[in-house]
Each structure stands twice: as C-alpha cells, then as structure tokens.
Structure 1
Amino acid sequence: MKAKQWFNLHAWAGLFVGSLLLITCLSGTLATLSHEIEYLSDSKFRALSHSPNIDFTAIENTLAERYPGSQIISILRHQQSYLATEVSLKWQQQFLFVYVDGATGQWLGEGQWGRVSRFLRNWHMNLSMGWTGKLIVTSLAILLVILVFTSPIVYRQWWRHLLKKPRQLQTTNRSSWADWHKLLGLWSYWFIVVMAVTGVWYLVEHGLQTAKVDHYVKPPATVSQLQSNAQQPRSSATIISAAQQAFPSLHIRAIQYPTKANKAVMVLGDNNDILVRLRANKVYLDAASTDVLAIQKAADLPLVARIKDTADPLHFGNFAGLGTKLIWALFGFLMTFICVAGLYMNWLRVKRKQPSLLKWFGIMGAVSMLLIGYSLLLTIQTFSVRQAPATVYSPVLGITQSNN
C-alpha cells in the first residue's frame, strides 16, 4: 500500500465511529477512578483505618444491631485500604449496600445499587444495552488494532519526534493539533496497544459466551454435586476461619454466600499473584458444615482461564494500588484527547471543501451520536435497578447469630 492509502485507512478507523470511540475512552478512564470519585464525594466510602485485616465478627455484630433480620449476600474489602468495606445485604426483602470500616466493623453509611462506579461500569461495558451493547463496544477494538498498526507507518521516523516540542495549540491551526495528536500518540502508544489487546480479548470472550463455549475452569464435582443441607448456614467469621486454615497464604478480601443450600459459599482473596482478578484465588465451602469442598489457585489456572482473569486488571490498571490506577487514568485522558484531536484535525482539513458539519460527520457519525445519547439515557434509567435475590443461604442476623 502507498503512504496515502495507509493514511486514509488510519483516518477511516479514527472517523468511522470516532465519537463512540471517544466516549468509550472517556467512560473507561472515569471508571478506572470511579471508587476514588466516590471516596471524594461521600465519607461513607472512606475507611477509618487502613489496616489490611478484616474483622468479620465485628462486621456481623454491627449489621445485626442495625439491620436485625437481614442476611449478608457478600462482603468485599477493596484492594485499596483507604476504601470502605462494602456489604451487600438483603434487608426487608430489598437490596442494600452497607459500608463499614473493615478492621473495626464500624458502620459508615448505606446506599442503593446505583452509584458512580455502577453507572460508569454499565455505560463503558455495554452502553447499558446488554448483549448488543457489549458487541458494539468490544468491536471498537478492531478499530484500535487498525490505528495501532497504521500509526507508525503513517508517522514516518516517529522515533525522531519523541522529544520534539509541539507548537502552541491554536483553535484553528490544524498543524498545532497535528503536533499534539502525534506527540501524545507516541507517548501513549504502549497504552493504546494494551487497550487494543484487552479489547480484542473481550470481543473474543463475548463470542465464546454467545456460542456457549466453556472457557473457564468449572468447579470440581465436590462443589457442583453438593447436596442440600438442613442445617443453618454458619457465620462469615466461622467460614473465613475454615477457609484460612485450608489456604493459609490467601489474603482474604471477600465472601459470597450462595442463594441455595446446595450451592457452595465462596471465599476469595489475593495470593501474591501478578495481574489476576480477585476471583482467581478462592475456596469453596459448605456453608452449613464449613467443610472445604475445593481450592482454586491462580497459579494452577489453564492459559485461557488465566487470560480471562488477567484482562480486567490489565485493562483498568487495578493491580498495584492507587499508583497504577492514576497512571492508567492519565493515559486514558491522553487517549481521549488524541481522539478529540484526530476528529478536529480532520474537520479543519476538509471544512473548506465541505463546510457542512453534518455532511462531514456522515451517516455513521450521526448513528454514533444517536447511540451515545440513547445509551446515556438508558444508563440513567437502569443503572440503579437491582433486586435482592429471592433467597440467600446465609445466617439471619440478630436472630440466628448463636449458630457459629
């Protein structure tokens, strides 16, 4: 291909659904820092003590006192110790988030399912449009791959311009926008590659899920064939103790109770593995007897399952504390600006020949804008909707606490 053809391919990939790509970059960047945004917005999201330990007994006692008759759905301690521990609770047949200090169990506040992190996650992940929305978002990875491949070809001898000072940005000066577009693109190239690779994986994963192809490890037979138990489920502290004995190196951060008596309770945590989701290391237990049914370790996962558990930390930078999240957010904003600059540069280039903004934007541009508006309204209407499960196989707090 000739240089002009490579340039046209690069421009096409950036303009095809440029506004949608821009919004996806922006929403993903904000989602990376969504819990920090919540932290700044309300004191209930802030842990009082930054100890990595979790006192499950204290948490249950606090919940039993404030919400008698409630049931724990799950407890989650975030990787960042400055964030409050959150408890998903079934309270008066409704879903409720309760925020506590993980180390002391002190009550910090409560809230519903809808919050900043949920809004941004729904919008970024699938435009709040379910299967169709996820296909649209993940398909943008193909455009990113084209942009990653064509950029070094279009920008010849790019290595000579890594330290080149760009011109002062001027609203109507296309060359100044081009300077910033190229320079920021060079310094953000590694990040765009990461987004393209993880985005392609999400697209592949969506296809596997649609085709109902198993690509993650199934729980062993001891878990799937668990029989219903007439006994009452045990307290989280008792279950955590049994899990810790079975998996001593696990730094426990979460417990998830099942919705049925023949399902296992899961205890999840970290085990000094690099780039894995919380669910990669877990212990399955019988909620009534606390018998350990199975242990899953990230180190033992097959390749595809390991990729699946690595994609999210790599995509959002949530694998090494606040530092990596800030780095990911910075380059996410730069990537967003690169999208803005690319769109605006193209408009400045063609506006003399095509002064109509609507004609320049084209059919796909109009469709993208309509899709963005529709998805935003849909997210506003649906992001706070969450029903409590009909049943939860967990202790009724304040009533059956004596069952330890």
Structure 2
Amino acid sequence: MNRILFNIHRVLAFLICLPLLLICVSGSALVFKHELDSILMPERVLVGEATATRLPFDTLLQSFNSHYPGYEVTGWRIFAKPNRSDLVYVMAHGGSDWSSLFVDPYTAKILSPPQPPRYYLTDALRELHYQLLLGKVGLFIAALLAVLMCLQAITGLILHRKFWKVLFTLRFQARPIIYLGDMHKLVGVLVSPVLLVLGVTGAYWNINQLIYSVAQPLAAPYIVDQRLYNSSLSVDALVAESRKRFPGFEVSFIALPAKPGYAINVLGGRDRQNPFFSEFSVSLSYHAQTGVLITARDIQDAELGDQITHSFRRLHFGDVAGLGSRMIWALVGFSPLALMLSGLSMYYLRRPVRKRIAERRREGRAQ
C-alpha cells in the first residue's frame, strides 16, 4: 500500500511541480498585493492620511462622468484603509471590455487613466495565478492542478502519518539522501494543511467558474452605448438604506449595471462579524430605475454550507488573522520550491540504487 502511495506521490510531483510553482509563487506575491502596488505606483494607490471625510458617492460619480463622458462606471471598490484610493471599473461607449482607474475619494481627483486588465504588474500576476494567462484553458488547468495538489498533500500525509515521532529530526551528519528526506518530510507535513486549504478553495472557485462559463449561452458581447441606471437615483441614499437595514454595515463595493436588466448592487461587511466572513458578507440589490430594494442578504443568516463556501475568500488569501496569517500563507507559497528541489535531489541520489536493482533483475531473468 505504501509503495503504491509513494509512486502516486512521486508521479504527481513530476506532473504538477512546474505549473504549481508558478501558481504558488504568484499567490504568495498576491497576498501582499496592496503593499506591492504601494511600492510600484504610490502616486496611484496612496492618497495620504485622510484628514477629512470621504466625498459622497454621488459627487464622486458626477466628477468622473464630467471628466470621462465617453465611459460608464460599472463598479466602485472601496477599501478599509483610509489612505488607499478607490478602484473604479469602467466600460467605454462603443465597446464591451472593461478597464480600471484610481480615484482619490477625498478630492475626487482621478489618479490614472482607464487601463485594460493586466496593465499593472500585480494584475498580470493575478491572471497568472488564476488562469496561467491562458484564459478558459488556463482556468481548467489551474482547477486540475488544485485538485492534484490536494491529492499530493493527502498522499504525503498518509505516507508520513506517524510524523510526530521524527517531525523535527534533521540528521545533519547523515548521508545527503537521509538529510534531504528528513527535510522533505518536515516541510511537507508542516505546510500540507495550508496547501490543502489553498487547493480546496482554489479548485472550488475555478470549477464553479468553468461550470458557469460553459452553461452560459453563446451570445454577442453587449456594446455599451448609454447609462443603464436612473441618473437621478442617489447612490448615497441606497448606501444609507443598506446601513439602516443592517446596523454596522460598511460598504466595500458598488456594482452599477453593465448590461440591460442588471440591478444596482451594494456589497459590504459588518463590524464585529465572524472573522472568516469577508468584506462582501452583506449584499443588497436595488432596481436600477426605481431604486426599490429587490433582495437583501447577510451571510450570517445563510445556511451553513453557504457560510463555509463564503469563508473560502479569507481562507484562500490568508487574511483570517491579519498580518501574521498572511505571512504564513506567503511562506507556504514558496514551500513547493523546497519540496521540488529536495524531491528531485533524492530522486537523483537514488539513481545508483535503482540501477543496481535493475541489473540484479536482469541477471535473475538471464539465469
């Protein structure tokens, strides 16, 4: 049994090591996406410590529309950190592709022109992480890699199920193959639980997205040519209504219609909520023309299964316990490199042993 598991573990390692390394290392970088953006483009991401309150959303929207009359805002991302600019998603009239820009929420100053996806380094890293820059094909490969990574972690834990006996044993004076084996077991056992979490959450998202994309009927992309919501509606009034319905509500994202029939969605979180719930745990939908509430949902009132899948966001990005968990997640992202190097080294060092065994078998058959 152990021999079969060992062979499965080894074959999986050879199959997934390189693409998995790309996904894990890019994921480690994305754990600190904001910090990287702050270093690479502080003039766009940072707005300085806020000395005043945010401008109303209606004022911010009006300011953008006056500067870019040929664009429509489809999403407005608000971050919890007061010194961080807002990220705005827009679509140009006559097109169907989205782009993004940064806005200072205290002055309404537009900090960057609309830029397409992958324009910024960290956005390209995100595409690499989720789709390997290969679109739907990459989405499928990433989902498959996530499943195989889970299987790899499970077989490793079964093979070393009595790991506690020699977990922190590193025989420095032993032969290289023994020392490498000790290190491989130590790293593998320590990081396997986190790799399982990353694999399960990543596979869930990618498989769901694949199913959704396959189920969608083929249709020509919608060409934006007009505003799809009532301009006289006050977004601030909708946010205020959301806060009235859910005390402690803090808005994180406002989604404006990108296609006919879409609603205005207000998403956010609540203070003192479950730490596993994300900043999108509360969602409200309003009619795009009348502003009448359509649906309102708080994940804490949902079924247990929905709460578990909702927690996948924080679990995948490692921000369940703040900076400490993010640092652990980032380090785990580099662990496949250590496991790959130690595994390949052991495979290379075992070559003489395998050669001798093969020669003995040939001699036995010759007799």
TM-score for both structures, normalised by structure 1: 0.70
Per the alignment, do residues 131 and 277 of structure 1 end up closer, same or farther by CA in structure 2, a change over 3 Å counting? farther
Choose the corresponding residue for 2:212, options 193, 209, 213. 209
Listed as ranges, the matches of 1:1-400 within 5 Å are 1=1, 3-43=2-42, 44-49=44-49, 54-55=54-55, 56-57=57-58, 59-60=60-61, 62-63=63-64, 66-67=67-68, 70-90=71-91, 95-103=98-106, 105-113=108-116, 114-155=119-160, 157-165=162-170, 167=172, 173-202=176-205, 205=208, 208-209=211-212, 212=215, 231-260=230-259, 262-271=261-270, 272-350=273-351
Write the letter of the residue equivalent to 2:335: L
Higher relative contact order (CA 8 A, sep 6+): 1
| In 1, Cα distance between equivalents of 2:213 and 2:99 | 31
Q: Is the 8 A contact 1:10 1:151 kept in 2?
A: yes
1:250-284 deviations in Å (ceiling 9; x for gaps): 21111111034642101110122443444441111
Indicate the residue corresponding to 1:222 in structure 2: none
The secondary structure found in structure 2 opposite 1:289 is coil
Q: How many residues align?
A: 337
Per the alignment, do residues 79 and 339 of structure 1 end up closer, same or farther by CA in structure 2, a change over 3 Å counting? farther
Write the letter of the residue equivalent to 2:37: E
The secondary structure found in structure 1 opposite 2:124 is helix
Give the CA deviation at 1:10: 1.8
| In 1, Cα distance between equivalents of 2:50 and 2:354 | 60
| In 2, Cα distance between equivalents of 1:237 and 1:49 | 23
| In 1, Cα distance between equivalents of 2:67 and 2:135 | 36
Per the alignment, do residues 231 and 110 of structure 1 end up closer, same or farther by CA in structure 2, a change over 3 Å counting? closer
Write the letter of the residue equivalent to 1:190: P
Write the letter of the residue equivalent to 1:12: V
1:214-248 deviations in Å (ceiling 9; x for gaps): xxxxxxxxxxxxxx999535243333233333333
Give the CA deviation at 1:299: 1.8
The secondary structure found in structure 1 opposite 2:111 is strand
| In 2, Cα distance between equivalents of 1:199 and 1:93 | 35
RMSD: 3.6
The secondary structure found in structure 2 opposite 1:108 is coil
Deviates more, 1:133-142 or 1:55-64: 55-64
Give the CA deviation at 1:298: 0.8
The secondary structure found in structure 1 opposite 2:276 is coil
The secondary structure found in structure 1 opposite 2:350 is helix
| In 1, Cα distance between equivalents of 2:50 and 2:343 | 43
Write the letter of the residue equivalent to 2:286: L
The secondary structure found in structure 2 opposite 1:248 is coil
Give the CA deviation at 1:124: 1.6
TM-score for both structures, normalised by structure 2: 0.76
| In 1, Cα distance between equivalents of 2:52 and 2:156 | 44
Give the CA deviation at 1:321: 4.1
Write the letter of the residue equivalent to 1:45: V
The secondary structure found in structure 2 opposite 1:263 is coil
1:176-200 deviations in Å (ceiling 9; x for gaps): 4333322222221321221233244
Among the aligned pairs, what percent are the same residue? 24
Give the CA deviation at 1:77: 1.4
Give the CA deviation at 1:123: 1.5
The secondary structure found in structure 2 opposite 1:188 is helix
Deviates more, 1:330-339 or 1:95-104: 95-104
Per the alignment, do residues 19 and 261 of structure 1 end up closer, same or farther by CA in structure 2, a change over 3 Å counting? closer
Q: Is the 8 A contact 2:139 2:210 kept in 1?
A: no
Give the CA deviation at 1:130: 3.1
Q: Is the 8 A contact 1:73 1:256 kept in 2?
A: yes
1:81-133 deviations in Å (ceiling 9; x for gaps): 55321112346767553313345545433451322232122222122333332
Give the CA deviation at 1:315: 1.5
| In 2, Cα distance between equivalents of 1:274 and 1:24 | 26
Give the CA deviation at 1:149: 2.4
| In 2, Cα distance between equivalents of 1:103 and 1:275 | 30
| In 1, Cα distance between equivalents of 2:5 and 2:230 | 68
| In 1, Cα distance between equivalents of 2:121 and 2:229 | 40
- Mind listing any 5+ residue stretches in structure 1 that lack a counterpart? 214-227, 355-404
Indicate the residue corresponding to 1:394 in structure 2: none
| In 2, Cα distance between equivalents of 1:129 and 1:293 | 37
- Mind listing any 5+ residue stretches in structure 2 that lack a counterpart? 217-226, 356-367
Per the alignment, do residues 199 and 62 of structure 1 end up closer, same or farther by CA in structure 2, a change over 3 Å counting? closer
| In 2, Cα distance between equivalents of 1:71 and 1:197 | 36
Q: Is the 8 A contact 2:170 2:179 kept in 1?
A: no
Give the CA deviation at 1:319: 4.3
